[in-house]
Amino acid sequence: MPWLKKYLKAFELGFETALEYRFNFMISLISAAYPIIIQSFLWSAIYAASAGSSVYGYTFRQMIAYTFMAGLVARLVRTGFEYEIMDDVKNGKFSKFLVQPMGYFPYRLASFLGQKVPGQGMILGLLGLVLVGLNVFWGMQIEPLRVLAFLVTLVLATVLNFLLFYCFSAISFWIIEVGFLFEGIRIVTVLLSGGIFPLEVFGDRFARAAGLLPFKYTVNYPINVLNGKLTGSEALQGMLLQMIWIGVILLAANLLWRVGGRRYVAVGG
Amino acid sequence: MVIKVNRLSKSFEYYKKELGLRNSIRNLFYREKLIKEAVREISFEIEEGEMVGFLGPNGAGKTTTLKMLSGILHPTSGQAQVLGFTPWERKKAFKMQFAIVMGQKNQLWWDLPANESLYLNKCIYELDDRQYQETLGELTELLDVKDLLNVQVRRLSLGERMKMELIAALIHRPRLIFLDEPTIGLDILSQMKIREFFRYYNLEKKATVVLTSHYMQDIEGLCKRVIIINEGQLVYDGDLHRVNDAFAHTKLIKLQLAVPVRVDELEAFGRVKSHDAFTVTLEVPRAEVKERSKAILDHLPVSDFNIEDIPVEEGIAQLYRRREVNHALA
């Protein structure tokens, strides 16, 4: 299968590039810890001031566990290639993919996954530590089956988030400088995906509305599989929905890129 | 026939901004759309194994044409057949057979050594190991960069990087190569090396090459035929050394004088193009070269005498200035 080899090589190059920039990655991990710590203080204050033992249906320990997991899962599925795509389109580097027998989409996917793997490994290790810590100090139950299901949903969540941002990056064909727009989109999607707070925090109606969007399936849903908020059949149903969303977004991406690609003007010499 | 272009046109939308902040603000709300016709109804054909210079002043539409021929851009109207394919359909079989090198763009991975990028290209073009090693060995030998394959691309000099770019572009042995200013910004030695390389490559591999360059040496050294466009229109298509025929109704007579002669006296024999004390260049009508020469030899203190054609550069420069020459040619 010679056609597969090119994408394996792209995967490998992504991997190598990620290793070249390992220091950058360490810094990004530290920056991920920062909001988690702030939120832990915030929730401590909220729970201390509230009368009951649970807030929005979460006990204090559940909330802290969610905060830690959300911080790490959001980091796990996070993209970053949208800036590269913007640069490709803005500066005419996209051209080379049009003249070579290689698809831009599978190339980006392979390179993205390659760049993700080293970091994913570390974050998964950290997540394992957090889980063990929760189990030892707070007696939180961890069922092996849930961990397995969580890993599957995580893979699907990564692919889904890739596709979502692949769609967003098609904006580059219409608007030339979209760096800030991407940052805005990222903040909104993190919020909608439950990457900061559980969606219940925003109220029932919001949680239900957010359930109709795909974002929830990138962070909130995998966590709920892991922490036991969902029953077995709910977890399976969620996986199915993840796959349906992947299919829908894939079609949307295809359409957007076909229409956008025609607008590409290949600037520069 | 490798390339057949028929009335190809491409126009772009753009907008203008007048000088100053006030106009920048005005532009936020209202942008007047303008249409630039980058390429207008050009037609030409190129045969297998030809090496053609594609010339024109900056902004003439050269790169836009090459981008259409390589499938990067869709034309606004017109047809093109390249290697039997319509380029902008971007068929895989088409992509496997050609390459485009842009002197101002790079395709190598900046942070990794060149051989990583080359290996990626091996995978992209689905080459087997033997083919790859053979071509790589040959190309690195020819361009003299064998020792640099393991060096990070960003640590290479501009000339070395260009050579690596060429290797990356030729690793799949394309039948057709578009070169868009491959020697831009390079020193004379690197330019010569690259010219020499393409002369050899074209002869040896029978590859068709379309070359744009602003260096006349590139064109004179490599191309017998040139296609010249200006403001998006084709103004000349033919032998490089006959560029002047179209409008060169004049010839140059170069004189060495034994004694200095005043300019106004010289002007009786033809238009004085340049002169100092002892050397003079006169431009005279082609039809009158004989009589004028005789008159000059009879009346001026000539110690040496030469009749020359107007240099090719000058003819091309004239074509860059004038647009409607193609009518004169027809």
- Within a domain: residue B328? no
pLDDT at B328: 45
Closest residue in chain B to residue A99, using alpha carbons only: B95
B178/B86 same-domain check = yes
Structural domain boundaries of chain A?
Answer: 2-261
Q: Does the pLDDT value for residue B210 go beyond 80? A: yes
- Within a domain: residue B83? yes
B228/B283 same-domain check = no
Mutation for testing the B interface, residue in A100, A173, A267 having most B CBs under 10 Å: A100
Q: How far apart are CA A258 and CA A252, in angstroms?
A: 10
Nearest Cβ partner of A262 from B74, B111, B120? B74
Instruction: Give the other-Cβ count within 10 Å of B161's Cβ.
Output: 19
**Contact yes or no for A10 and B120 at CB 8 A:** yes
Structure-token pair, residue B312: 């090719």
**Contact yes or no for B109 and A5 at CB 8 A:** no
Q: Does the pLDDT value for residue B86 go beyond 90? A: yes
B269/B283 same-domain check = yes
Task: Give the domain CATH number at B30.
Answer: 3.40.50.300
Please say which residue of B224, B243, B262 terminates a domain. B243
Give the pLDDT band of residue A3 (cuts 50, 70, 90).
confident
Query: Is residue A37 within 8 Å of A71, Cβ to Cβ?
Result: no
Domain count, chain B: 2
Please say which residue of B208, B243, B278 terminates a domain. B243
B198/B259 same-domain check = no
Structure-token pair, residue A159: 């692919």
B230/B142 same-domain check = yes
B92/B147 same-domain check = yes
pLDDT per position as a tens digit, A203-233: 888 888 888 899 999 999 999 998 888 888 8
**Contact yes or no for A17 and B70 at CB 8 A:** no
**Bridging pattern class, strands B208-212 and B176-180:** parallel
Domain limits for position B171: 3-243
B236/B254 same-domain check = no
B183/B265 same-domain check = no
**Bridging pattern class, strands B250-257 and B279-285:** antiparallel
- Within a domain: residue B56? yes
Please say which residue of B243, B276, B300 terminates a domain. B243
B40/B88 same-domain check = yes
Task: Give the domain CATH number at B262.
Answer: 3.30.70.980
Query: Is residue B193 within 8 Å of B224, Cβ to Cβ?
Result: no
Give the C-alpha distances (Å, rounded to integers) separating A20 from A111, A193, A225, B216, B246.
14, 30, 34, 43, 59
B72/B201 same-domain check = yes
Q: Which residues of A touch B125 (CB under 8 A)?
A: 100-101
Q: Which residues of B touch A262 (CB under 8 A)?
A: 74
The complex scores an ipTM of: 0.71
For the segment A235-250, the average pLDDT, to the nearest whole number, is 93
Give the C-alpha distances (Å, rounded to integers) separating A83 from A80, A86, A111, A171, B159.
6, 5, 14, 11, 29
B34/B11 same-domain check = yes
**Contact yes or no for A269 and B102 at CB 8 A:** yes
pLDDT at B140: 92
B286/B204 same-domain check = no
Helix (H, G, I), strand (E, B) or coil at B156: coil
Nearest Cβ partner of A266 from B72, B92, B107? B72
Q: Which of B12-21, B164-173, B228-237 has the lowest mean pLDDT?
A: B12-21
**Bridging pattern class, strands B250-257 and B302-308:** antiparallel
**Percent of chain B clearing pLDDT 70 (strictly above):** 96
For the segment A55-67, the average pLDDT, to the nearest whole number, is 86
pLDDT at A266: 60
Q: How far apart are CA B7 and CA A172, in angstroms?
A: 31
Q: Does the pLDDT value for residue B330 go beyond 60? A: no
- Tell if the pTM clears 0.90, that is, is over it: no
